[in-house]
Chain A
Amino acid sequence: MQSKNKDFVFSIALTVFGIYVLYEGFGIYQYAANPPFNIKIFVISPAFLPIILGTILILLSVLMFFESLRGEGNSLKKQRKDFAEWIKTIPGNPDIRKMTIGSAFMGIYVFFMMANLPFWIATLIFLFCMFIFLRVGKVWKIALIDLGTVGAIVLLFQVIFQTSLP
């Protein structure tokens, strides 16, 4: 995706996010204005800064939106077409596929494996799977690096620094 096209997509996403911040901000203002807080003056309300920030975010995003349409051949229609074409190329792009699968592995490690397994077992499995997925060498070499790394981490943090690991 071209830089201008990325700016186009991000400016829309950030504008939507800015509107959401404003919506939440006014919710906070109403919450603070009611008992027991009774903070009815807007500028001293806890909603003041979020609302100001939401407004600035929308303004800056709108500026970026118009910036992305500036220049020859950067019309609204072309940006939409470019984005649609980029979406179609995602499944066939090996880099995006590797980054997505790698991130998914890391997500599984953080959200599921560490919640259900002792740290050293979860890390042994995670590192082994990652090294195999990234094809960093032969299986024996991977196993050696894996064991060495987990051993060093446990030694450094649990034995020397006496901290408890997740």
Chain B
Amino acid sequence: MALEYLAQAFLIVTTPLNIMVLLLSTGAGLIMGVLPGLSATMAIALLTGLTFNFPHQTALISLIGVYVGAISGGCQSAILINIPGTPASAATALDGFPMANQGKAGLGIFIAETASCLGTLVSVIFVLTLTPLLTALALKFTSWEFFLLSIFGILICGALTARGNALKGWIAGVLGLLVSQIGLDTVDTIPRFTYGNVNLMATVQLIPVMIGLFGFPEIVRAFKDSADDNILPLSKFEIFKGFGLMIKNAVAAVRSALIGVMVGIIPGVGEDVGGWLSYWVSKSRSKDPESFGKGNPLGIISAEAGNNACIGGGLIPIMSLAVPGSAPGAVLLAAFLMHGYRPGPLLMTETPEFIYNIGMYLIFASFAMWILALFIAKGTVRILRINKKIIMPIIFTLCVIGAYLINYNMFDVKIMFVFGILGLALSSANFPAAPFLLGVVLGPMTDSNLRRALRIHDGSFATMFERPICIFFLTVIVFMILSQTGFFKLFKKSKKPLEGN
């Protein structure tokens, strides 16, 4: 039966109209992903309105295409201008931008897009085959696990991005968590840090914060007279070398994709965590971890395979539980509902072909993305050859539009500006922006799950230590804090005199 559904889906997607729609939507998604400030969430939201009158399957194809395109496109600006087009690509910038500075921007983009394609394809296998099993695992998570998972994510991100000073990364993460506390609290709807402002009561929106933190500092720095106006050299894709790197790092790429799928399945944890976690695992398992952050291709491959695999992983809880795995997933869920589908436990009974259709569309979208991304990359590089002082004010205008379009509210534009100034100040002192953003993303999940767990267990933390998954997370968290604060180095130092004696 499954093969029959897949064959039907293949026939649907290969009609000339649907192929054209797929290419157009994936291309639009790529462009949206490339442009800093225009996110996957916004791309899907914009397209949902545009495709409202389309036939259902054509609309689904366009939504999947734009989702895959937007998540994959973010890597190009991360590599070429060190501004992740979407939060999902933040980890890619760590090695992508240094690689571009070495004159290998083309190679960087090629391996990033190939890894993205591979990540999506691996995730499709899980969408189609392991959905029930993985959903059962995600269902075992209670509030304690969600709380610890978010803390774990922020600590990893802080340690990874602060370039040897985890303290700064963690401070940035705490600041992000504090920003997420603004607004009515999610459990009792009590106002926190709102100062009577109605806009603040609705909490600070993620996208304006992201645009401000990542976009603004880069824009303002380009105003300097002494700013480096050297245009990144237009390097070739080096396809054979790129494939060679992919084959050499195939195990790491598949491992990152598996991590991405697992992260995507967990509701509330999106593509950004998938990218970071995959990057961290590859770095910690590498024989040469020092080379990460200096243009290591494995860093790019891991981050991109990880974040793109979250697309498929994120679709699993959407389809089986009607719970979105990320912000773009939430918009996609709304779009599915708008087109008459009812994601949730009854989906397989009511529309059993749905899951296979989505799987097939993902396969086609990932190949379309891979081909289109390489065409678009040439254009992206050409844009960067223009004087940065011309580009940056235009990008600021796009940032303003991006911040505005989330809620059609000028308050969000002002928030973007304020967080831009904050981001500029923090980046001048080498505080990384990524853990700050992750703090804002995971803050509501951290707060609501912590308080829910404490409320259920009469204010006691004891039950947290009775759960195996919690103990695993706690062990990793403690190990990470001790390793980053140099505790193990102290132990080694105290051991040396004994050896000498």
Contacts and interface: CB of A to CB of B under 8 A. Distances in A.
Nearest to B176: A53
Contact of B393 (A41, A47, A61, A126): A126
Contacts of B421: 103
8 contacts: A24-B193, A44-B454, A64-B167, A95-B224, A99-B221, A103-B421, A106-B396, A153-B401
Nearest to B221: A99
Interface stretch (B109-117, B444-452, B465-473): B444-452
A166 B410 CA distance: 7
Contacts of B227: 95
A49 interface: yes
B340 interface: no
A60 B193 contact: no
B294 interface: no
Nearest to A160: B50
Given A44-B451, A53-B177, A98 B225 contact: yes
A150 to B, nearest CB: 8
B49 interface: yes
B288 interface: no
Contacts of B416: 110
B479 to A, nearest CB: 19
B446 A49 contact: yes
Contact of B46 (A123, A130, A163): A163
A166 B413 contact: yes
Interface string B437-477: 00000000011001100110001000000000000000000
B188 A32 contact: yes
A149 interface: yes
A3 B225 contact: no
A13 to B, nearest CB: 9
A8 B414 CA distance: 30
B384 interface: no
A145 interface: yes
Nearest to A106: B396
Contacts of A3: 429-430
Given A50-B181, A56-B174, A131-B393, A114 B190 contact: no
Given A3-B430, A46-B185, A99-B223, A41 B459 contact: yes
A108 B455 CA distance: 47
B10 interface: no
B397 interface: yes
Given A50-B192, A53-B177, A60-B171, A131 B390 contact: yes
A58 B414 CA distance: 28
A161 B190 contact: no
B429 A7 contact: yes
Interface in A139-157: 145, 149, 153, 157
Contacts of B405: 157, 163
Interface residues of A, number: 61
A51 B133 CA distance: 39
Interface of A is mostly: helix
Contacts of B174: 53, 56-57, 60
Query: Which of A3, A44, A157: most chain B CB closer than 10 A?
Result: A44
B54 interface: no
A134 B389 contact: yes
A46 to B, nearest CB: 4
Interface string B130-173: 00000000000000000000000000000000000001101100
Interface of A: 3, 6-7, 9-10, 14, 21, 24, 28, 31-32, 37, 39, 41, 43-44, 46-50, 53-54, 56-57, 60-61, 63-64, 67, 94-95, 98-99, 102-103, 106-107, 109-111, 114-115, 123, 126-127, 130-131, 134-136, 145, 149, 153, 157, 161-166
Interface in B263-320: none
A28 B73 CA distance: 42
A31 B194 CA distance: 13
Nearest to B45: A163
A53 B446 CA distance: 12
A157 B401 contact: yes
Contacts of A14: 171
B387 interface: yes
Contacts of B170: 60
Given A37-B190, A48-B451, A161-B50, A123 B397 contact: yes
A47 B223 CA distance: 42
Interface string B414-427: 10110011001000
A37 B424 CA distance: 39
Contact of A57 (B171, B396, B397, B400): B171
Nearest to A24: B193
Given A24-B193, A49-B446, A99-B223, 9 more contacts: A6-B429, A44-B455, A50-B178, A53-B177, A57-B178, A111-B417, A126-B393, A161-B50, A166-B400
A21 to B, nearest CB: 6
A162 B222 CA distance: 32
Nearest to B49: A162
Contact of A32 (B168, B175, B190, B220): B190
A161 B28 CA distance: 11
